Amino acid sequence: MKIIKFPKSPKLKYANSLIRSVNEVLSTKDRQVFFDLTATEELDALAISFLCGLINMTLENNPKVSIKYPLNKKIKSVVKLLEKSITSDKLHETKIQSNSFQLRKVTSNNNLYIEQMLTLLQIELKFGESTRGSLRIVLTELLTNSIDHSGEKACYICLGRWPNSPYLHLVCLDFGVGIPAKLRTRFPELDNDVTAFKNQHEQGLTTRRARDGGRGYRLIQDILMANKGRLNIISNSAKVSYKYDKGDYKVIASKEGFTGTCVDIQFNPSRGGFEETLVKQHIEDFF
């Protein structure tokens, strides 16, 4: 039997504990696995994405997964919803939805899932068309990046709003090769993951340097800058934290590394971002 404990607050600030769980799951085979959430008092997009990914990953190599539920009733109901959806559809596209969040496990470049999520959440959370349009661009870019570049052909996308946060929270998580690892394969002179991220930040975050393409993260950054949101990326052994609302930009080593990429975005729902980008960059109306 293997017990994997979830922390009290599995949010971005304490993401290392989630990363540690990934590595525990990867080293566990042919055992009965318990995810212990008894101490967990809050969940958000990050925790939900990791929990789903971890359970799916565990089921690939272990016969049984069980969850010890949180003591908090609200959190418990969310976890039950997740458990039911994942364990009954373990080999299929996972769709989980509640009034305040949507999660999909996506295994192809199919934007229908993104439209579904945006439509359902726009009804509940009542954000405007400008916000929806900007979110669509960001989500689509993150999806294609994961499916085309991670090597895993699957990612978890979670979008929603949680109490005590003014932001919409958006997470795209995959357990693929990781951005720094891919950069360093292409550019061996980048001698560690932090350097890889920093170097690419100076030239735009892309694994497609000197090839056509690679504008995706640049556009995400432009949108978030106009939106005054936040971009966080944890991949391999490095972390990126860009707080556009505060003008605070950091690339640092992660205490715990993992094979994969987690993009965690905090998006200001009262603003768009893409419209302002068009104005700022004086984009002409060719069509």
Partner 1 sequence: MKINIKKICGEDIISRDAGKKIRDLLLENWSAKCIEISIGKIPIGSASFFDEAFALLLKREAKTIDEIKHKLKFVDICDDDRKLLNYVLMARITEVKMKA
Residues that bind partner 1 (CB under 8 A): 108-112, 114-115, 133, 136-137, 139-141, 143-144, 147-148, 212-213, 215-216, 219, 274-275, 277-278, 281, 283-287
Question: What tokens appear for 140 in the block?
Answer: 């689509």
Kindly state the smallest distance separating residue 235's Cβ from partner 1, in Å: 19
Closest contact distance (angstroms) between CB of 110 and partner 1 is 5
* 31 or 215: CB nearest partner 1: 215
Tracing tokens 């017990």 back to the chain, one arrives at 3
* Closest to 205 in 3D by CA, of 177, 260, 196, 191: 196
Question: Which residue's CB is nearer to partner 1, number 45 or number 106?
Answer: 106
Q: Shortest approach of partner 1 to residue 285 CB, angstroms?
A: 6
Strands 32-36 and 2-5, sheet pairing: parallel
- The whole-angstrom separation of Cα 229 and Cα 265 is 7
Q: Which of 283, 179, 169, 287 is nearest to 240 (CA)?
A: 179
Least Å distance between CB 142 and partner 1?
A: 11
Task: Report the residue number, 36 or 115, with the smaller CB distance to partner 1.
Answer: 115
- Contacts of 113-116 with C-beta under 8 Å, sequence gap 24+, read 113/157, 114/139, 114/140, 114/143, 114/157
Give the nearer residue to partner 1 in terms of CB position, either 67 or 139. 139
